Amino acid sequence: MADILSVRPLYQGWMDLLMVRLRAGDDEMDRHVVKVGRAVAVLPYDPDRRVALLVSMPRAPVMLSGEPDMLEAIAGLLDGDDPRDDARREAMEEAGVRLGPLRSIGQFWSIPAFTMEKIDYYLAPYSAADRIEAGGGHPDEQEHITVHEIALADLWAMFERHEIKDVKVAILLMALRIENGRLFGAE
């Protein structure tokens, strides 16, 4: 059993950085905690054309590690009370796609060792007619998003070759394949 002894803010802004003092057994320790709130991630997929929408954008941590940008699930922080509404908003902003019904596959901690962020994950069917805008991100957020429509079979092959680096994509892709393997060419 562990107890929180104190919480001290180190930085407050778009995200907060806290120093948390814990007691576990006879030990006391300090832990850095990033507080950013809840987020959403969605994988729009077209069941007729067997494709999915992903995005890529410049990510400083990825670039600092020496890697190029990567394919990511459409995602963002919650702005309102309903994560489904935020998933729909993010899909429109990032990929220009209008989403109807969303299927929740759960809420998961992103990195519980140091962040309080939990992500609500959704699968969402769409059709070619639902791609009604260009996407690219909100103009005020300087995201420089590129939209990718990729065949599900190709995405699965990338996953098997360990080329999918975004955990959100991996979770959503596995959930969709378990739910509907035929979309990937699996029977």
Residue 110's pLDDT band, with cuts at 50, 70 and 90, is very high
Domain ranges of the chain: 1-35, 37-184
Among 6, 8, 5, 28, residue whose Cα is nearest residue 18: 8
pLDDT tens for residues 55-105?
A: 999 988 898 999 888 999 999 999 888 999 999 999 999 999 999 999 999
Neighbours of 76 (CB within 10 A): 20
Q: What is the mean pLDDT of residues 8-37?
A: 94
Give the helix ranges, DSSP H, for 9-58: none
Question: Residue 49: is it exposed, middle or buried by C-beta count within 10 angstroms (0-12/13-18/19+)?
Answer: middle
Q: What CATH number does the domain located at 37-184 have?
A: 3.90.79.10
pLDDT for res 25: 92
| Residue 2 burial class via C-beta count within 10 angstroms: exposed 0-12, middle 13-18, buried 19 and up | exposed
Three-class DSSP category at 82: coil
For residue 99, with 0-12 CB atoms within 10 Å meaning exposed, 13-18 middle and 19 or more buried, which class applies? buried
